[in-house]
Amino acid sequence: MWSGRFRQRLDQAFESWQRSFPFDCRLLECELESSAVHARALARVGVLAPEELEAVLSGLEQIGERVAGDPELLNNDEAEDVHHYVEIELVRQIGDIGYKLHSGRSRNEQIATDLRLYTRAAIDEIGAALTEFIRAFVDRAEQAGDAAMPAYTHLQRAEPVVVGHWLLAYAEMLLRDRARLEDCRKRTNLCPLGTAAVAGSTLPLDREFMAQELGFAAPTANSIDATADRDFLIEFLSVLSLLAIHLSRWAEEMLLFATQEYGFLHLPEAYSTGSSAMPQKMNGDLLELVRGKSGRIIGQATALLVVTKGLPLAYNKDLQETQEAVFDAAETMVGVLPLITKWMQTVEFDLERMLQAAQSGSMNALAAATYLVRKGVPFRIAHEQVGKAVCLALDRHCELEQLKLDELEQIDGHFASDFYDFVKLENVLAIHDLPGGTAPGRVRQAIASARKKLLEEEAHAHA
């Protein structure tokens, strides 16, 4: 590709060590697609005659077909990178005309373009899989109806909530990830073709045409920036990192809830494993791996940040080191999402046990204080009085609502017989009645609005 200026041969070990083809062969499809568009732009400025263009286009097509038929062809130790591979193969097929394809372009713009095409496709694939995962939460929320469970703060039982409300908390955070993916797509979807090595092509190529042909929203604005910019990769892996953090937090909670100590769910056998030593065991390996893989994805995002920091403009070969981080993070996420979706669809919640837990530990204490507030007692005082009642219940080993009315009256004269209905689970849930609260009617509305958001996502989805 560049041997003219060299008097000596490359050191063989260096030669093979600096090659990127073993991993950038993943970009072959993007490379063929963007090269075909560049060829057509060349034909439009007269650098390729019509029959030469035909030869180049059919040569590019055949490269794709040959590799599809025999993926072993990618075990090639001659090509330095995917760009070199295509050139070698093209010339092998159509002769020296193949060398014309590199007129007016540079590998610097090619790799920037290929990575944008790859990232755009990965965003679309991950986005669609994420939508399915979110749908599983919304479906399970609907199925759970008005079932109740404890909500925790500080990992201590706090207040009862509707099971669907808890599930929708995950849907909500994942919908934010979905939106962040879409937003990152906007800055990814710009076309570097025509920016060449650093200063722009020396041929008057139609950049609008090339951008349009590749489905990009517009050409990139500045050739120096376009060849040096990997922000879209950093953004993409940052979005994946935050998504991975959400998946890890979810996995952790599922693992906790699957313990005998909680007993809120039964691990789906199809996605669990046993112990080679302890015959009774069933382990939530899928969840543990999801938690572990989040560390891996965050590690790749960190690698990108560190590789790109301190690089002067414009292209530097360090940028080649960004590729594997992106491939690994994207492929890891693509592998995880369909599995956790199935897990979520098949996991069995122990609604009975959740209900029992929701009704113990005086989780209606805040509702009890609200009862006094509604009788005109200032909240701080109500809090104090209910606290005393909770202490008494603890001494008696009973729940708040099992204390006798005269015991309560001794603590505060505002307690009356209507107290007992007020602190029943059903009412405790019902009084959290405002947008975003856990009152069953509000949760039903939230389910409907989450469904609507999913449909909107699908309507906007890029095919």
The residues carrying an active-site annotation are: 154, 275
Q: Which residues contact 404 (CB under 8 A, 6 or more apart)?
A: none
Q: What is the smallest separation between the CB atom of 238 and ligand ARG, expressed in angstroms?
A: 21
Task: Write out the residues near ligand ARG by the rule CB under 6 A.
Answer: 20, 24, 81, 107-108, 111, 315, 317, 319-320
Q: What is the smallest separation between the CB atom of 213 and ligand ARG, expressed in angstroms?
A: 22
Structure tokens at 126: 């991950």
How crowded is the C-beta side of 318, counted as CA atoms within 13 Å? 17
Stated as kind and residue range, the H or E segment containing 358 is: helix 351-358
- Residue 140's CB: how many other CB atoms inside 10 A? 19
Structure tokens at 291: 């938690």
Q: What is the smallest separation between the CB atom of 136 and ligand ARG, expressed in angstroms?
A: 38
Q: What is the smallest separation between the CB atom of 440 and ligand ARG, expressed in angstroms?
A: 55
Strands (E), 28-179: 148-153, 156-162
Helix 107-143 / helix 163-188 crossing angle, nearest 10 deg: 160
Nearer to ligand ARG, 317 or 404 (CB): 317
Angle 85-86-92 from CA coordinates, rounded to 5°: 90
Query: Peptide bond before 393: cis, by omega within 30 degrees of 0?
Result: no
Strands 218-219 and 190-191 turn out to be parallel
Q: What is the smallest separation between the CB atom of 25 and ligand ARG, expressed in angstroms?
A: 11
Q: Contact at 8 Å (CB) between 194 and 205?
A: yes
Stated as kind and residue range, the H or E segment containing 107 is: helix 107-143
Q: What is the smallest separation between the CB atom of 20 and ligand ARG, expressed in angstroms?
A: 4
**CA atoms of 115 and 243, how far apart (whole Å):** 21
CA dihedral defined by 187, 192, 198, 199, rounded to 10 degrees?
Answer: -110
Nearer to ligand ARG, 317 or 397 (CB): 317
Q: Is 72 exposed, middle or buried (0-12, 13-18, 19+ CB in 10 A)?
A: exposed
Nearer to ligand ARG, 35 or 359 (CB): 35
Q: Contact at 8 Å (CB) between 17 and 74?
A: no
Nearer to ligand ARG, 81 or 159 (CB): 81
